[in-house]
Structure 1
Amino acid sequence: MKLSVVIVNYNVKYFLEQCLHAALKASKNIDAEIFVVDNNSVDGSCQMVREKFPEIKLIENQHNKGFSMANNQAIYLSKGEYVLLLNPDTIVEEDSFIKCIQFMDEHQEAGGLGVKMIDGKGRFLPESKRGLPTPLVAFYKIFGLSRLFSKSKRFARYHMGHLDKEQTHEVEVLAGAYMFLRKSTLDKVGLLDEDYFMYGEDIDLSYRITQGGYKNYYFADTTIIHYKGESTKKGSINYVKIFYQAMVIFARKHFSKGRADLFSVLINLAIYFRAFLAIVTRFAKSIFLPIVDALVIYGGFLWLLPYWERFKFEPGYYPTRFMNTIVPIYILIWIVNIWMSGGYQKPIKILNIFKGLFWGSITILVFHSLVDESLRFSRALILLGSAWAFVSLLSYRYILSHSKSKRVQFDRNRKKRVILIANEEEASRINQLIDQSNMKINVIGLVQPTESHVAKGFLGNLSQLNEVISIHKIEELIFSANDLPSREIINIMLKLSRLNIEYKIAPPESLSIIGSSSIDTAGELYVVHLNAITKENNQRNKRLLDLMLSLILLVTFPLTCWSVKKKPGFLKNILTILFGTKTWVGFSGNEETKSSLPKIKKGVLSPADKFEHEISEEKKLEIDMIYAKNYSILQDVDIIWHAWKNLGR
C-alpha cells in the first residue's frame, strides 16, 4: 500500500465531512487507506462517518486521548509506505497526494513534507514553513520582531520569512495540519511523542527527523485550505499557555539544561505578556464606545448650557458643580441604561440605544424629583441632553459604521449579497439549505462552474467571475464541491485573495455549508439544524423566566407542592434551576438525537410533554427542532402549564 491518511477528529463534524470528501477524491487513483480517529466527540461525528463514509477506517476513543496518542493509534495499524497526518479542518486538492508521493519518491533523503496552506479567505498561512524555535528565535517571535521584520533571515526565522512561498525549500519544522511522512523514517526516529497532548508534537517530530539524518521540505506545488481556529481559539490565553508550555517540554527534551532554562523563562514571560495584552485589549474594546458616548454627551452639555442660560436666565446662572458633578451622574445613568438595553452589543441596534436613553431619562427625571432642592436643576436641560445624546450617538456611530470595524456596524437587517458557483441541480439544493438556515443571505444568481458559453439562467461563467463580483457588489461566494474540484476552488480563492470576499463550500449531499472568514475565527456555518433558541435575547429571556418562576415557586412551595406529583424532586428542581444548572424546559430524546440540536441546559420538561400519548424518538426530535427553530418564551409557559404536575420529575 502506498499511502495511509490519518485524521484525528474532535467535535468538528461538518469540517470532517468536507475534509473526507476531498481526501477520498485525492486518493482515488492511489492504493490508499484513510483512518479517522475520533477523540470522544459529542457532535455526532462518528455516526456521520459510519453512515456517509463506510469505507473509512473509524477508531472511536472513549475519552479524549490528545493529538499525539490518537495519531499513533492509527499509525500502528497503517500499512502505507507513506503516512499523512491531516487535520479535519482542511481541504486538499485532487492531485495533492499524487504530487507529494512523486516528490518523496524522487527525494529519498526526505523524511517529511509540508505543503502551501491558505486560510478560508485565500491568504497564505506563514506556518506552512517554519524554523526551529530556539530561545533566540522564540524571543523574536514572542516580542513581535519577527512580524516587524517579516522578510529577515534572522528575525523572521520562526516562519522562515526569507524563503519564497512559491518555491520548494528545505525547512526545519513541518506544520501538524499536513505532515506527509515516510513510514520507514517513523520506524527509525519514532512516532509522535505522547508527552504532548496538543501542540508542539509537530515541532518535536520534525526535529527528530532531521536528527535522524533526513530532511524536511516545504512543497509549494500543491495548496490546501486550512480553516484555522476551528479546534481552538488561537487568540485565547488558554491557547497561548498550552502552546508555549509545549515549547517548554520540547526545550527540556532537546536543548541543554542552560538553554532549556532560558527558554522556560522566555515562555513564562510570553504567557504573562500575552495575558496582560489580552486583558488590556479586551478592556479597551469594551469601554471604547461608552467612553466616546460619555465625551460626546458631555461635549453637548458644554455647548448647550451657555445657549440655555442666555435664553432663559443669564450667563453663569448654573454653578460649576452642575457640569462637574450632576452632568457626569446623568451620563453614567444613560450609559448604564444603554448597556442594560443591549445598546453596546454587536451589531448596533437603534431601538436598543433609544430604549437605553429613554429609560435613562426617566431614571434621571425620577432622581431629579426625589433629591434635595439644592441639587435640582432644569428639567428642560435633561430633555435637551436626551435629544442631543440620541442624535449625536447615532450620528457618530453611523459615520464609524462605514469603517471595517465590526464593533460599530449597524444591524440594518440587510442581507449579504451572495452568488453560487454551481450547476442548476446543486444550486437548487444549496438554495434550500440557505432558506432553511434562516441566515440573512440574498442569492443574487448563479455562475457557471466552467468557462464554456454561458447558458440561460447564469450570470456568467468562471472567466467572468471578476466582472460578476464587481457589477453585482458580491460579498460572498458559495462553491459547490460537487461541480468544482478542490484545486479549482483553491485557485479561485488565491486569485481573488486581495478582494474583500468571503467564501463557503457546500460538500455534496451534506446538510452544511462551511467557511471561515478569518485566520483566527471559526466563521459562519450554515446548517439545517437551526438554533434560534441560542440567540442571546432568547437565552436571556429563557433564563429570566427560569429565575422568576423558580422564585415564585420557592415562596409559594407550601401551596404549589400539592399540585405536583413528586414533591422532593419539585423542590430539588427549583433549587437547581435557581443555581443555573438546569432549565424548566429543555429537549427530549436521547444523547445521539440531541447531537443535531443546539446546546442548551438539561430540562425538567420538554416540548414532547404537551402530548399526553407516547411519541417516537424520531417524532420527539422533529418537535425539538421546531421548538429550537421558532423559540419564544410563551412556548415555555405553555409547556409548563400543560405539564405542571411533572415539575417534580
Structure 2
Amino acid sequence: MQLSVIILNYNVRYFLEQCVLSVQKALEHIEGEIIVVDNASTDESCEMMKQKFPEIKLIRNSENVGFPKGNNIGVAHASGEYICILNPDTVVAEDTFEKLFNFCHSELVSESNTGIIGCKLIDGTGQFLPECKRGVPTPWVAFTKIFGLYKLFPRLKWFNQYYAQHIAENENGEVAILVGAFMFMKRDLYLQVGGFDENCFMYSDDIDLSYMVQQLGKKNYYFAETTVIHYKGESTVRDATYRKRFQEAMQFFYGKHFKKSVLFDYIMRFGSFVFSFFKKSQQQNRVVLVDEFVVFTKNSDLKFEALEEKKCTYLSDFNLFDSDSKKNREVIFDTSTFSFKEITSFMQSKANQKCTFKNYLANSNYGIGSNHANDRGEVKILK
C-alpha cells in the first residue's frame, strides 16, 4: 500500500466529514487507506463516520489522549509505505497526494534523504498561513517571534527564521519545521524517531518531530505546488487550558533540546504566557454582515431556502463573479459540482475582496467554513 492518511478527530464532526470526502477523492488513483482516530468526541463524530463512511477504519479512544498519542495509535494501525498526518479541519485537493509522490520521486530531492514534506496551507478566508514553513525555534528565533521582531525585519536572516521567510509562499524549498496539520513522510522514518513524543500533550509536538527527523540528517521540505485549506483554530478553544498547555509545550521542547538556563527559562515562561494570551484574545466569533450570497453550482435544481432573506445569485462559472463589487459577499460552493482544487484556487484569488466562504456538501442542509484564521468554524444552515 502506498499511503495511509491518519486523521485525529476531536469534536469537529462537520469538518471531519468534509475532510474525509476530500481525502477519498485525492486517493482515487492511489493505493491508500484512511484511518480516523477519535479522541472521545461527544458531538456524534463517530456516529457520522459509521453511517456515512462504514468502510473506513475508525479507532475510538475512551478518553482524549492528546495529539501525539492519538496519532501514534493511528500510525500503529497503518499499512502504507508513506503516511500523512492530517488535521480533521483541513481540505486537500484532488491531486495533492499525486503531486507529493511526484515530488518525492523527482530529481529535485533525494528520496532516501527526504524527511517530512509539508505543503502550502491557507485559512478559511483564502489567506496564506505562514506557520506551514518554519525554522527551528532556538532561543533567539523564539524571541524574535514572541516579540514580533520578524515583522519589523522580514528580509534579515537574523530575524526572519521563525517563518522561514527566505522561502516565498509559492516556492519549494528546504525548511526545518513543518506544521502538524499536514505532514507527509515515510512510515518507517516516523517509527524510527519514535513518532510524536507522548510526553507532550499538544502544540510543540510537530516542532519536536520535525527537529528529531532533521537530527537524523534528513531534509524536510516545504512543497508549494499544492494547497490545502486549514480552518485553523477549529479544533482548539483558546481558553485557560489552552494557555496552560501551550506554555507547558514550549517548556517541554526547550527542556528536551536546549541547555537549561534560569534566565532563558524565565524569558520563555513570560513570552509563552504573553503569546498564548495574545492568541486567546484574537479568537472571537466575528459577526460578518452579509449583503449578498453568491452560490456556485452547476446543478440548476439546487436552491437554498434559508438564504432567501438576502439577495442570492446562483452562478455556474467562476468567471461570472463580479470582482469589482464593494459588497460584503458570502460565497457558497457546491462541492458536488466544483472540485476542491477549483474551490481552493478561487478562494486564494479572492482572499482580499470582502468575501467569506462556505462549502456545501451534497445531501446535507448546511455549509461550513471559517470567517477568520483565529475564529472557530461556522456551520450555516442552508435549507
TM-score scaled by length of structure 2? 0.92
Counterpart code for 2:116 = G
Q: Map 1:333-348 onto structure 2 (within 5 A).
A: none
Q: Deviations over 1:152-187 (max 9, x none)?
A: 322121111222111101000010000001112123
Tell me by how many angstroms 1:239 deviates. Answer: 3.0
> What CA distance in whole angstroms lies between the structure 1 residues aligned with 2:197 and 2:370?
30
Name which of 298, 305, 308 aligns with 1:423. Answer: 298
> What CA distance in whole angstroms lies between the structure 1 residues aligned with 2:103 and 2:302?
38
> What CA distance in whole angstroms lies between the structure 1 residues aligned with 2:101 and 2:63?
34
Q: Comparing both chains, which one has the higher relative contact order based on Cα–Cα distances under 8 Å and sequence gaps of 6 or more? A: 2
Tell me by how many angstroms 1:500 deviates. Answer: 1.2
Tell me by how many angstroms 1:188 deviates. Answer: 2.1
Q: Tell me, what secondary structure is at the counterpart of 1:427?
A: coil
> What CA distance in whole angstroms lies between the structure 2 residues aligned with 1:53 and 1:101?
26
> What CA distance in whole angstroms lies between the structure 1 residues aligned with 2:246 and 2:318?
41
Name which of 179, 203, 221 aligns with 2:183. Answer: 179
> What CA distance in whole angstroms lies between the structure 2 residues aligned with 1:245 and 1:276?
14
> What CA distance in whole angstroms lies between the structure 1 residues aligned with 2:273 and 2:341?
42
Tell me by how many angstroms 1:267 deviates. Answer: 2.0
1:61 and 2:65 matched: no
Partner of 1:270: 271
Greater share of strand: 2
Counterpart code for 1:211 = Q
> What CA distance in whole angstroms lies between the structure 1 residues aligned with 2:15 and 2:309?
21
Q: Tell me, what secondary structure is at the counterpart of 2:232?
A: coil
**Over the residues paired in the alignment, what is the CA RMSD in angstroms?**
2.6
Q: 1:442 and 1:143, CA in 2 relative to 1: closer, same or farther beyond 3 A?
A: same
1:255 and 2:123 matched: no
Identity over aligned pairs, percent: 40
Greater share of helix: 1
Q: 1:97 and 1:48, CA in 2 relative to 1: closer, same or farther beyond 3 A?
A: same
1:463 and 2:319 matched: yes
Q: 1:138 and 1:228, CA in 2 relative to 1: closer, same or farther beyond 3 A?
A: same
> What CA distance in whole angstroms lies between the structure 1 residues aligned with 2:207 and 2:311?
44
1:190 and 2:197 matched: no
Q: Map 1:47-58 onto structure 2 (within 5 A).
A: 47-58=47-58
Tell me by how many angstroms 1:77 deviates. Answer: 1.2
Confirm or deny: 8 A CA contact 1:245 1:267 kept in the other structure.
no
Count of residues in correspondence between the two structures: 378
Q: Deviations over 1:318-346 (max 9, x none)?
A: xxxxxxxxxxxxxxxxxxxxxxxxxxxx9
Partner of 1:105: 105
> What CA distance in whole angstroms lies between the structure 1 residues aligned with 2:279 and 2:220?
35
Q: Deviations over 1:187-226 (max 9, x none)?
A: 3222111011111110111011011121100000000100
Q: 1:277 and 1:47, CA in 2 relative to 1: closer, same or farther beyond 3 A?
A: closer
1:524 and 2:378 matched: yes
1:148 and 2:152 matched: yes
Tell me by how many angstroms 1:441 deviates. Answer: 5.4
Partner of 2:13: 13
Bigger CA drift: 515-524 or 23-32? 515-524
Q: 1:480 and 1:276, CA in 2 relative to 1: closer, same or farther beyond 3 A?
A: closer
Tell me by how many angstroms 1:55 deviates. Answer: 1.9
Confirm or deny: 8 A CA contact 1:416 1:441 kept in the other structure.
no
Counterpart code for 1:485 = S
TM-score scaled by length of structure 1? 0.55
Partner of 1:487: 341
Say which one has the larger Rg.
1
> What CA distance in whole angstroms lies between the structure 1 residues aligned with 2:357 and 2:60?
32
Counterpart code for 1:489 = I
Q: Map 1:304-323 onto structure 2 (within 5 A).
A: none
Name which of 102, 122, 128 aligns with 2:126. Answer: 122
Q: 1:191 and 1:159, CA in 2 relative to 1: closer, same or farther beyond 3 A?
A: same
Tell me by how many angstroms 1:241 deviates. Answer: 3.5
1:169 and 2:173 matched: yes
Unaligned runs of 5+ in 1: 283-345, 348-404, 449-460, 530-649
Unaligned runs of 5+ in 2: none
Confirm or deny: 8 A CA contact 1:188 1:212 kept in the other structure.
no
